[in-house]
Structure 1
Amino acid sequence: MIRHLTNGISIVFISWIVGMIINAFLIKTKRYQEKLTNLNFIKSKKINKLIGIGLIKWTVKNTFFKFFNPKLRMNNKVEPNDLNILRNEMTLAEINHLIAFIAVAIFALSMVFKGKYLPAFIMMMLNTLMNLYPSLLQQENKRRIDKLKKVFTRNHVSVTATESLNIS
């Protein structure tokens, strides 16, 4: 059981690298700009809360995961251009995680076909926690950034990040 868990964690961490490599090629395509930058699987705050996105947010903000992508941090004072840069970084992280999720899911499916049900199940649970949920968190944060951008557009002012947006 421990071996399946450690193998699953290793594969999920490796999938992050796979996601970054594939995304580096995708980012240059027209489809990326048109379709992938605006993915939005779960629009409801209630559903996000029910599936535990808040717990993932807390984990990312309060554990060693906060050091994984320092570009996703905001300064106290936010300018409109900062929001565009932050949104682009979030999109990049989101797509990296989605690609990683799909890669691990394919690998787990191949394990199911070989009759290795327990390792595949453990791997998919880890994959969901470490790839799908972070991607959904990035989507939620992008929606919040878009709302804040609308405030900027209406008011033409700088906004303090801690007052208007708590992103992580």
Structure 2
Amino acid sequence: MTKELVLGFIFGISLSFISWLVAIILNSLLLKTSYYTRLHNFNFIKSKAINELIGLRYFKWIVRNSFFKLFNQKIKLENTKVDLSTIRYEMTLSEISHLIGFLFVTIFAIIKSLSVGPVFGLAIMIPNTLLNLYPSLLQQENKRRIDKLNDRARH
């Protein structure tokens, strides 16, 4: 069981990084459809309390204080003269790419749960959650914050 856990975790990390490339390609194709506009305001978890409960605040701290902060430089708010709509758009691209990646890896985890074992499949989901689901949830939270800023600017 320990071997399945370790191997599943390593496989999950590798597959999660691969899923980022797959997701970028699929997202660029999805971007050209009319369906994409419906995803623009999609909120997987709307509740701040649930985000707090699952530790999204800690994840945000990790992103801010690690090498992950270097990944998407287009979504930084460094000064007040930045175009919020452009940043929100980039956040949406990132959010949907991570959701696609999450689904991609989840399919593999289900298949591996059936072919190798449930421990292997669950171990795949740990890095998938941290490398795909949480970044997507963080982007959704950030988009809601930008929407509040936009609302204040309009009034």
Q: In the alignment, residue 101 of structure 1 is paired with which amino acid?
A: F
Displacement of 1:112: 1.3
**Which stretch shifts more, 67-76 or 142-151?**
67-76
What is the correspondence of 1:27-106 to structure 2 with a 5 Å cutoff?
A: 27-33=31-37, 35-79=38-82, 82-106=83-107
Displacement of 1:126: 1.1
When the two structures are superposed, what TM-score results if normalisation uses the length of structure 2? 0.93
Q: Structure 1 residue 9 and structure 2 residue 10: aligned? A: no
Name stretches of at least 5 consecutive residues in structure 1 with no aligned partner. 155-168
Displacement of 1:75: 2.3
Equivalents in 2 of 1:68, 1:75: separation in Å?
15
Q: In the alignment, residue 72 of structure 1 is paired with which amino acid?
A: I
Displacement of 1:122: 0.9
Any idea what SS the aligned residue of 2:10 has? Answer: helix
What is the aligned-residue RMSD (CA, Å)?
Answer: 1.2
Displacement of 1:7: 1.8
Pairs aligned (count): 151
Equivalents in 2 of 1:131, 1:93: separation in Å?
10
Give the match for residue 161 of structure 1.
none
Give the match for residue 127 of structure 2.
126
Identity %: 51
Any idea what SS the aligned residue of 2:40 has? Answer: helix
Query: Does the 8 A contact of 1:8 with 1:119 survive in 2?
Result: no
When the two structures are superposed, what TM-score results if normalisation uses the length of structure 1? 0.86
Give the match for residue 151 of structure 1.
152
Q: In the alignment, residue 83 of structure 1 is paired with which amino acid?
A: L
Name stretches of at least 5 consecutive residues in structure 2 with no aligned partner. none
